[in-house]
Amino acid sequence: MRSDKVNKGIARAPHRSLFKAMGFIDEEFNRPLIGIAMSKSEIVPGHLHLDTIAQAAAAGVRLAGGVPVQFPVIGVCDGIAMGHEGMRYSLATRELIADSIECMVLAHGFDGLIYIPNCDKIVPGMLMAAARLNLPGVFVSGGPMLAGRLQGKPITLTTMFEAVGAAGAGRMDEKELALLEDAACPGCGSCSGMFTANSMNCVTEALGLALPGNGTIPAVMAARLRLAKKTGVLAMEVLKKNLCPRTILTEKAFMNALALDMALGCSTNTALHLPAVAHEAGIKLDLDKLNQVSAVTPNLCKLAPAGSAAIEDLHAAGGIPAVLNELAKKRLIDTAAVTVYGTLGDSVHQGINQNPEVIRPIDNPYSATGGLAALRGNLAPEGCVVKRSAVAPGMLKHEGPARVFDAEEQAFTAIMKGNIKPGDVIVIRYEGPKGGPGMKEMLAPTGALAGIGLDDKVALITDGRFSGATKGAAIGHVSPEAAEGGVIGLLQEGDSITIDIENQSINVNLTDEEIARRRASWKPLPPKVTEGYLARYARQVSSAAAGAVFG
């Protein structure tokens, strides 16, 4: 066992004394040491209860004869960080999470691992660590929050960000806003729509690193604790088989994940995170593969923000096994792919579609193609991404004048002051991985647009990114970004931009000669951050098209 390096032999007597200082007994040194990487905190609703999940997982490890050891992992709440400088730290912490887990695991000689994430960057950060370390391990998330309820209608965090725009436009008074505020987020768990956290927790099932139910069992259900306990037992079985993540994280697994992604209409952030996880596993996953899968995979679900259903509704309808079962009917997934519990087919066979209103049958999809699309053109030669399933039909093709802003805050102010008109194309630049730095999410401006009733009349383009809670013609990850001399940095107020989501193209209507002329006189903005972690991050990070990984 790897733990022999830290607790066996005469030379390790000092090490054992330190273990004994924590209450270990000699008998435990003869059992596998299972690390439990847990992102419990009291500042993230999705992580508030993870100590309870960890205790259940630890109980499973002990049942199976192992010794569980918990250690902490950081995590930023994207909702609380939204709309101010805190959002610069969200994506940037993904790399910190992966690095810190690597440090803890290799420094302390764990034999196997259980990963307990829940929210946006924590899930992919832990997946990256699992692929990098390649030690036997299993995932179990904290589960989704229940949807809020007000006057008999489900509401989510998206409702709150849209309410800000409605209140600013005089369409909602402060009393109504306060009622929503009290009801939107009723308790612990990852926010209740198909936002980034839930997208990645569902995708983890398709990748094969978690048991069925990981992405959809609500946080407050006893079934979540039972799942965690089963995960603890499974971690010991995986260790005995020496079944490591890179055996599971094959190209087939990532193609399965993309297929599920398209069927669910996941967050555009999966187009950042899946390539980053694949990179750690030694596999190339680019935007061309995303479009390749999207072209043949129908969109079967319209969960919030694309529709009114919440994750709890997806769970009641059969969860991820039911969605995979529909995809398997057209051979759109590889059921022979290896998982921590057998093959993906074992999950598919459990899948029964209990509600065709929530999970459309494969022969009656919302659309014949997937929920995400990658666009290319002279405005984004390396690509950009849009959540197609959340775009109003009338905005799938759009041409309009550019309204150019060099920061998210400038655009938000213009929206709230009523300076954005139907038909406009809002451009928010210098918010990419390097230019932000940290690639901020733009939920505040997109929520405001929805709140004032412009989300189906205005497009928004950025080299930053969007929350999974965003809806509308919101096109992010424009690459190359402005800070690297991308064409988005050359745009001027009033330039005509043409967007064709159906044909996967995005262009500014300028000649090559005019673009070259502007580039010759272009100078980047001074860096927004010049010291600390973000300055180091900006120097190391790659483009969004490559997953914003460290070079």
Q: Give the residue among 472, 440, 469, 471 at the shortest CA–CA distance from 156.
A: 469
DSSP 8-state secondary structure symbol assigned to residue 129? H
Total number of residues shown for the chain: 551
CA atoms of 215 and 203, how far apart (whole Å): 8
CA atoms of 226 and 231, how far apart (whole Å): 8
**Cis status of the peptide bond prior to 305, with omega within 30 of 0:** yes
CA atoms of 266 and 294, how far apart (whole Å): 12
Three-state DSSP class for 237? helix
467, 479, 505, 542: which one is catalytic? Answer: 467
DSSP 8-state secondary structure symbol assigned to residue 33? E
CA atoms of 157 and 155, how far apart (whole Å): 7
Three-state DSSP class for 505? strand
DSSP 8-state secondary structure symbol assigned to residue 190? B
CA atoms of 246 and 252, how far apart (whole Å): 12
- Write the secondary structure of 462-480 as one string of H (helix), E (strand) and C (coil): ECCECCCCCCCEEEEEEEC
CA atoms of 169 and 91, how far apart (whole Å): 31
Distance of CA 183 to the CA centre of its chain: 24
CA atoms of 522 and 500, how far apart (whole Å): 28
| Annotation marks residue 467 as catalytic | yes
Q: Give the residue among 459, 440, 537, 535 at the shortest CA–CA distance from 501.
A: 459
Question: Which residues are the active-site residues?
Answer: 467
